[in-house]
Amino acid sequence: MPKYAALIYTPAATEGQGTPEQWAQIMAEYNEFGEKAGAAGVVAGGEALEPTATATTVHVSGGKGGEMLTTDGPFAETKEVLGGFYILDCADLDDAIKWASQIPGAWHGKIEVRPLMVFDQ
Amino acid sequence: MSQPLEEMLRIEGGRVLATLVRLTGDFQLAEDALQEAVLVALQKWPHEGTPSNPAAWLTTTAKNKALDRIRREARRPEKEEEAVRLLDGAPAQPPDGQDDRLRLLFTCCHPALSMDARVALALRTIGGLTTAEIARAFLVSEPAMGQRISRAKQKIKAAHIPYRVPEDHELPDRLPAVLGTVYLIFTTGHHAPAGRLDARVDLSREAVRLARLLFELMPDVNECAGLLALLLATHARHRTRLDESGRLVLLADQDRSQWDGAAIAEATALLDATLKRRSAGPYQVQAAIACLHSAAPTYAATDWEQIVMLYRQLEHYLPTAVVRVNRAVAEAELAGPERGLELLATVEGTARWHMWWSAKADFLRRLNRTVEAAHAYREALSCEMNDSDRRFLEGRLGDLVAASDS
């Protein structure tokens, strides 16, 4: 079965915001999804990420062995930020879209569904 | 090569390709194998005669070509064995009884693909058009179109876009993408974006063929009948839309005796049949409007009251600028040009769209507000449009200027 990454993007403006009650509500929604998708054997992995304020971007300039440059912050400042991801084990893209639409991030933000690359050898 | 053989290969090719995609699960392999089979057919058939079942012959030959390719290219023996087993044992008839072309159409028009990609894929795979033909029709270079098609195929493969007809309960989500693709192919042909208005009329014919296929495969889905009726009733009038010099002729001035009466009758019958099933949709409403226009014996005898009512209903489904400008034109026929101007003023985002300006210019002309009308015609002419529309608008502006000078 093909695997997909469901990348959860949420508005940068709401990152790390919200009252404890709102967080509890969102966590409850994620737990509900986790239980449902877990019971269906769809979830093959997944993590939540700390806010982009904790991100460090690394680049080696001038090719392999070149100078290492680290910068504070995410790779690109965008209106929507990657907040976490699931790895979904699905029959096909329709199935993956069906599950992605049930991830709470689909209504709090957007989900990008990307097939994982399969290496032949 | 004789024209009928080429045409037959193109049409049968769509059917065979659809089956090959199901059997191989690989668009590119299916297409390459079919191409090889067609080459063999072109060598053999002219002197050995056409086989009694050309599609079956092409399928078998292409299947063998696909097997050859898999054997040549297989990097791992297990992969080869698996493919050979799949292809050799597979029945030519689909197990679920669904027509493979319908499966192919739903895959090519999957909402996960961009509209550009859907149009190109549908024309390439089901329509059997070459990449060069599609590139010409959509005014992009052949390499760019080739890349668009191969990217789409790549996405189908890598993302595992399924090769199946959606279940009934999924149709409301999935059908609009298919109908919209066929409709866009039609309008591009019916109203070419550049050159003469009818420069790409072959695309309209192709779209009618696709709509007919869709209707034959899903006869109980009202919007499929609606789309076919819409295209038939509209295409029926395509021959009278230009004068000898290629200038647009308005509906009011067209020679109605030259319209395709059989197509109009078929469209009307299709629409009548859907009314009994009581599930309307935007294509049926547009078809009803097209049928009313096509069935009116003269422009003056057009049932504007009914048409206005239908446009109001259509605006409910599709509140687009195109629909709202068309509605303004229809309402002006009933209530006068002032009403038309009022409605036009509420349509936004049309500053660079010539049809909005030309509707406005016409209303002003009919109200004898000549200076404003001339200004609106000039604004219309500063927008992008095809040559036929441009010649018409230039003529209108010329008449207006000549009349005010005399």
In this predicted model, what pLDDT tens digit does every residue of B206-262 receive, in sequence order?
899 999 999 998 999 999 999 999 999 999 999 999 999 999 999 999 999 999 999
**Residues from chain B contacting residue A4 (CB–CB below 8 Å):** 159
Mean pLDDT rounded to a whole number for chain A: 93
Mean pLDDT of B21-36: 89
Structure tokens, A121: 């050898």
| Chain B: residue whose CA lies nearest to A115 | B159
Q: What is the mean pLDDT of chain B?
A: 90
Task: Please give the single-letter amino acid code of residue A73.
Answer: G
- Buried residues in A74-99 as b, exposed as e (16+ CB within 10 A): beeeeebbbbbbbebbbebbbbbbeb
Chain A contact for B172 (CB, 8 A cutoff): no
Cβ atoms within 10 Å, residue B75: 8
Between A92, A120, A121, which is nearest B161 by CB? A92
Per-residue confidence (pLDDT) for residue B248, from 0 to 100: 96
Measure the CA–CA gap between B195 and B300, rounded to whole angstroms: 31
Select the residue from A88, A94, A118, A120 to test the B interface by mutation, using most B Cβ atoms within 10 A. Answer: A94
Q: Do the Cβ atoms of B53 and B117 come closer than 8 Å?
A: no
- Report yes or no: B203 and B247 within 8 Å, Cβ to Cβ: no
Which string of DSSP letters, residue by residue, matches B237-274? Answer: TGGGSB-TTS-B--GGGS-GGGS-HHHHHHHHHHHHHH
A-contacting residues of B 139-168, CB under 8 Å?
158-162, 166
B169 Cβ under 8 Å from any chain A Cβ: no
| End-to-end CA, chain A | 17
B400: amino acid identity, one letter = L
Query: B186, B207 in Cβ contact below 8 A?
Result: yes
Task: Indicate if the pLDDT at residue B344 is higher than 70.
Answer: yes
DSSP three-state, residue A9 = strand
Gap from B101 CA to chain A (nearest CA, Å): 19
Contact A94/B162, CB-based, under 8 Å?
yes
Neighbours of B128 (CB within 10 A): 22
Q: What is the ipTM of this complex?
A: 0.84
Kindly report the nearest CA distance between residue A96 and chain B, in angstroms: 10
- Judged by DSSP in three states, A111 sits in strand
| Contact (CB, 8 A) for A26 and A32 | no
Segment A31-61, tens digit of pLDDT: 999 999 999 999 999 999 998 988 999 999 9
Name the CA radius of gyration of chain A, rounded: 17
With contacts defined as CB-CB under 8 Å, which chain B residues touch A93? Answer: 110, 112, 159-162
Chain B partners of A113 at a C-beta cutoff of 8 Å?
159
Higher per-residue confidence, A96 vs B13:
A96
B285 to chain A, minimum CA–CA distance in Å?
30
For residue B1, name the pLDDT band (cuts at 50, 70, 90): very low
B278 interfaces chain A, CB cutoff of 8 Å = no
The verdict on a CB contact (< 8 Å) between A93 and B75 is: no
Measuring CA to CA, which residue among B351, B349, B345, B348 is closest to residue B364? B345
pLDDT, position B323: 96
pLDDT of residue A111 exceeding 80:
yes
Paired with A4 in beta bridges are: A88, A115
Contact B159 A115 (CB under 8 A): yes
DSSP code of residue A12 = G
The CA-CA-CA angle for residues B349, B354, B356, to 5°, reads 55
Question: Closest Cα of chain A to B76: distance in Å?
Answer: 9
Q: Do B158 and A92 touch (CB under 8 A)?
A: no
What is the pLDDT confidence band of residue B326, given thresholds at 50, 70 and 90? very high
Q: Are the beta carbons of A60 and A68 closer than 8 angstroms? A: yes
The number of angstroms, rounded, from the C-alpha of B264 to the middle of its chain's C-alpha atoms is 18
CA distance B164 to chain A (A): 10
Choose the closest CB to A92 out of B75, B76, B160: B160
**Sole residue written with tokens 């915001």:** A17
Joined together, the tokens standing for residue B203 give 């695309």
> Coil, helix or strand for A112?
strand
Å between A94 CA and nearest CA of chain B: 7
Q: Is B75 an 8 Å CB contact of chain A?
A: yes
Is 0.90 topped by the overall pTM?
no
Query: Strand ranges (DSSP E) for B108-193?
Result: none
Cβ-nearest to B159 among A91, A93, A120: A93
pLDDT on residue B89: 64
CB contact under 8 A, A93 and B162: yes
B259 with B240: CB under 8 angstroms? yes
Q: Which of B75, B160, B162 sits opposite A120 (nearest CB)?
A: B75
Q: What would the pLDDT profile of B76-134 be if each residue is shown by its tens digit?
A: 677 677 677 667 766 667 766 678 888 899 999 999 999 889 999 998 888 888 899 88
Largest CA distance in chain A: 49
| CA dist A113 → B33, B165, B218, B284 (Å) | 31, 22, 30, 35
The minimum CA-CA distance between A22 and chain B, rounded to whole Å, is 32
